[in-house]
Every structure is written in C-alpha cells, then in structure tokens.
A and B are shown apart, each in its own frame.
Chain A
Amino acid sequence: MSYELVFDVKRGDFDTAGEASRKIKRTLQQLGVANKVIRKVSIAGYEGEMNLAIHSSGGRIVLQVGEEELVLTIEDVGPGIANIDLAMTAGWSTAGDEVRQMGFGAGMGLPNMKNNADSFEISSKIGEGTKIVMKFFV
C-alpha cells in the first residue's frame, strides 16, 4: 500500500458527518482516480460514515490506496450487529425516529456499500464491534 488516510467518526456527530467522505473523494480526485470509481467509493464511504454516526459507539474509517485497488475499512468499537443477514436486508433498519426524520435509517446503508464495492466483507461481534472491509479496483 502506498498511501493511507484515517478518520475518526464519533457517534451522533451529524454536523460533521460526511467530512471524511469528502476528504476521501478529494484525495482520490487529486490522485487521478477515475470518476466512476470515485463515485462508488464516495457512496460506500458516506454510508459507512453515517452508520458510524448513527449506530456505533464511535469508530474509524481507513482508506488504503494501492496501485491496483483501494481498500476502505469501516471499523467501530460497538455495539455490534446481532444478525448480519437481517442488517444486510434492504429496508431493514434499527435507526430511531429522530434520525429517520433527518432522512437516515432507510435500511439502505449496508446494501449500498455492498452494491458499490467490488468486494465486501462484514464481521461483527456483540459487545465488541463491527468491521467492514471493501475493495474497489482502480
């Protein structure tokens, strides 16, 4: 890996949420990555960032830029997902009313990440946290 960006995301921080995705997008633009790939990484990164703000107890986004692929890792410190299959189902969400009124909680975050990444892996343990690793071919 030739380049790495790391962003911490706090729970409930909606005012600055989106900042990491914007910085990732700008970096990829500066590196000359194709617009089509940037769009996919932007969508997946934004969804990951919002998931950290909405659902996690805090977490981190790491982008590793390699010559052939970009690796986007979204990792949090809890609370963990009880049923990953259910969480991956489009339209299913545990988001509360307050964030739903803001237009979040459509239950499309994880499916959007999976649909935009060339590979998608998710692992989670209750009480420990969730880790998502997405790869995008450049």
Chain B
Amino acid sequence: MKVSALLENKEFKCLNPQVGIEGVIKSGYVGDLLSWVMANAGHGCAWVTIQTHVNIIAVASLLEMSCVIIPEGAEVEESTLERAIIEDIPIIITGLNAFEVCKILGNAGI
C-alpha cells in the first residue's frame, strides 16, 4: 500500500504533502521510546507515535520509513515539519488512536 492510498482515507491528513507520498508502506510500527523504535522498526514502515519533536525525523530518516503517523490529534511542532520536508518524510495526522490506525493498516493488508 502506498502512502498516497492511505491518504485517500479522510481520517488521515498529510501535513507536508510537498514531500513524496508515493512510498510503499511495507510494515507498521507503534512506539514512543526512540531507542526501541531504532532497534525494531523496519525499513519502509509506517510509524505511529505520539512523539512530535524534531528527533522523530532523525529516526524516521535513518530507518527510511515510509511515513510517520501522529494519532489522536497531537500537535506537530513547526521544527519537526521543517525537518520532515528536508528529509522527505511524510507526516500524517489523524484523530484516530494508535489502535484504530493499526486496524486500518491491517485491513489494508499491511
């Protein structure tokens, strides 16, 4: 499933649509402890986290994630968005909680 296909679902909104959204979501990962994520998240994953500070982009970029999904309407810092544009990482917000996001990803075959 491509990131752009996920964005067809109106529950999701990309905050930086100028970056590439044609990346393929190969897997999913949920976590807020950055070292756990670094150790275990897969290449091309969609990462669901409530962390919104700029360092999530370093993690997403180093692991070459397909996108970062911020659940439950958490606000994303401007510096995070600026870095996400530079690093070409789509930042997606949703009002859904992490479990509901995972259900949608799972139902889409991820």
Contacts and interface: CB of A to CB of B under 8 A. Distances in A.
Contacts, number: 67
B97 interface: no
26 contacts: A14-B53, A14-B54, A14-B55, A15-B54, A15-B79, A17-B55, A17-B58, A18-B58, A18-B59, A18-B61, A18-B62, A35-B43, A42-B62, A42-B63, A43-B39, A46-B59, A50-B34, A103-B33, A103-B34, A103-B51, A103-B56, A106-B33, A107-B35, A108-B38, A112-B39, A115-B39
B4 to A, nearest CB: 24
Contacts of A35: 43
Interface string A32-47: 0001000100110011
A19 B20 CA distance: 21
A47 B36 CA distance: 11
A106 B34 CA distance: 8
Contacts of A47: 35, 38
B11 interface: no
Contact of B55 (A39, A42, A43, A102): A102
A25 B87 CA distance: 13
B43 A103 contact: no
B32 interface: yes
Contact of B38 (A15, A19, A43, A102): A43
Helix, strand, loop or mixed for chain A's interface? helix
Nearest to B54: A15
Q: How large is the interface on A (under 10, 10 to 19, 20 to 34, 35 or more residues)?
A: 20 to 34
A46 B39 contact: no
Contact of A108 (B36, B59, B87): B36
Most buried by A among B33, B51, B55: B55
A101 to B, nearest CB: 9
Given A21-B62, A39-B63, A46 B38 contact: yes
A104 interface: yes
Interface string A10-22: 0000110111011
A14 B58 CA distance: 11
A109 interface: yes
Contacts of B38: 43, 46-47, 108, 112
